[in-house]
Structure 1
Amino acid sequence: MTCMTTQPWYVDAFTADYLDVYAHRDGAAAAREAKGALSLLRFSRERERLLDLASGAGRHALAFTAERCRVTCFDLSSDLTRRARAAGLSTVRGDMRRLPFRDWGFDAVTCLFSSFGYFRAEHEHADTLREIARVLSPGGRVLLDLMDPDTVATTLVPQGVDMIGDLVVEVERSMTSDGRRVEKAIRLVRGDRCEKSWIESVRLFSGAELERLIDGAQLELLQTLGDYDGRAYVRGTTRRLVVLRKPR
């Protein structure tokens, strides 16, 4: 039995159900990651402006706010942006490929939790990074939290089942045959009825592909790190956090 829709997966996925599926991503983890992100960005809390792209319900933005940052949330999901506004966060809904902000409007941009790489067409990732560069002030910095392709290949857990009350969350994970995307099929089942399903699909960028995207957006690569504490990036072992800068 199937209960798939024909919308892009990121439209199907990021509704109120998403918050249940990823309930283990809690505020304590977000607080640690936010502090690490601000340190990696060398962010000045007193005078700089931060844009949190694909901010969802504002888990990291709330942590940035607790760190006395001026943060704007941006997300496509109507459900999640509604939650962010209800939490008191400054929130704008829209598409990251066409940011509704003026040039040089922010001093730093974050795109966390593997939120860069959702789109199918290759030019859409380039469009997104160019838009990030456009709204960034000269000398401003970007933090992209990306999956490392080799780490995914060696650590991928093919299947899993979780229970959330009487809701069964069935998960199947795989990489595409060309190794360029990681996909996660999620089914929400209650009793004998599938209530919802979707397939998350995120682009995995090689080092050379990422360099071309960065060059195309006229940004500079400052650092590649393995986690929010600033540990070294190790191919095949860690995540890949990249810090970029817009030239002055």
Structure 2
Amino acid sequence: MQRKWFQYWFNSPYYHILYQQRNDAEAEFFIDKLTKYLKPQEDSKMLDIACGKGRHSIYLNKKGFDVTGIDLSEQSIKYAKQFENNKLHFLVHDMRKLFYINYFDVALNLFTSFGYFDTEKEHVNALKTFRKCLKADGMLVLDYFNTAKIIRNLNSCEAKSLDGITFNISKNVIEGKIIKKINFEDKGKIYNFEERVQAFSFEDFERMLAKAGMIIETTFGNYSLDNFDESSSDRLILICKKA
């Protein structure tokens, strides 16, 4: 079976070079706001789906929660494992495959870690696995970009120089996907990667979540948890529960 773009790119050292400036303070600010809103019990079990190097998981664990982080990238999980303790665990796992059942109080899928698959069915199946891993009264937090604003302000070409590498980045919307092409040269070798993320709207999520047996309880538009506004919000943050 042919490997998908995310299986190559997220495991590449260049992915971590390009996105090294990811903001821990912003992630912690968001988690503070989220936990204040959700009011989880002190012994709550949390699942961080597509956790990357674990910045949200690590901070949630510092707040006292029992956290499991899963990600498809072996490199990211290898890095995250150095922070493990008896209430913080990291595993290489595909979000589309069933994990624990009726186990977690909160499942989080943050920082646009969704929309990578080719078909709606695959996305619905992933949402079904998120649902199955939650307890009856469990909550799912899904944090996506605001597609409408992203498309309106699409910067078609840019160059970023990091660690002596110039990344040439182009973005286009093709067949309902936001496609980012990343080209660069390092040590005399030319590399080409891409990111392909579905341009999902609020209505798309509403439909897919319904198919997966979930409903949207609340919607926020940024990490301060202000109301969602399609024309101006940076994020589309969905708080969902089992239907």
- TM-score above 0.5: yes
1:232 corresponds in structure 2 to 227
In the alignment, structure 1 segments of 5+ residues that lack a partner are 1-5
Deviation readout 1:92-148 (Å, 9 max, x if unpaired) = 1111111332x1110000001101111012200000000000010011101101122
Q: Identity over the aligned pairs, expressed in percent?
A: 25
- For 1:39 and 1:184, locate their aligned partners in 2 and report how far apart those are by CA, in whole Å: 35
2:17 matches 1:20? yes
Q: Counterpart of 1:241 in structure 2: which amino acid?
A: I
How well do the aligned residues superpose, as a CA RMSD in angstroms?
1.6
CA contact (8 A) 1:27 1:63 kept: no
Deviation readout 1:151-209 (Å, 9 max, x if unpaired) = 11112111111111221111111111x4x211111123226531x32110111223332
In the alignment, structure 2 segments of 5+ residues that lack a partner are none
CA contact (8 A) 1:149 1:236 kept: no
SS in 2 for 1:81: helix
SS in 1 for 2:70: strand
2:163 matches 1:165? yes
1:154 corresponds in structure 2 to 152
- For 2:184 and 2:56, locate their aligned partners in 1 and report how far apart those are by CA, in whole Å: 26
1:208 is matched with which residue: 203, 208, 212? 203
1:3 corresponds in structure 2 to none
- For 2:54 and 2:156, locate their aligned partners in 1 and report how far apart those are by CA, in whole Å: 29
1:39 is matched with which residue: 31, 36, 45? 36
SS in 2 for 1:99: coil
SS in 2 for 1:90: strand
CA contact (8 A) 1:154 1:236 kept: no
SS in 1 for 2:171: strand
| Equivalent pairs, count | 237
Pair 87,169 (structure 1): closer, same or farther in 2 beyond 3 Å: farther
1:30 is matched with which residue: 21, 27, 48? 27
Q: Counterpart of 1:130 in structure 2: which amino acid?
A: K
2:10 matches 1:10? no
1:73 corresponds in structure 2 to 69
1:115 corresponds in structure 2 to 113
Q: Counterpart of 1:170 in structure 2: which amino acid?
A: N
Task: Write out aligned runs for 1:88-127 (5 A).
Answer: 88=84, 89-101=88-100, 103-127=101-125
CA contact (8 A) 1:41 1:108 kept: no
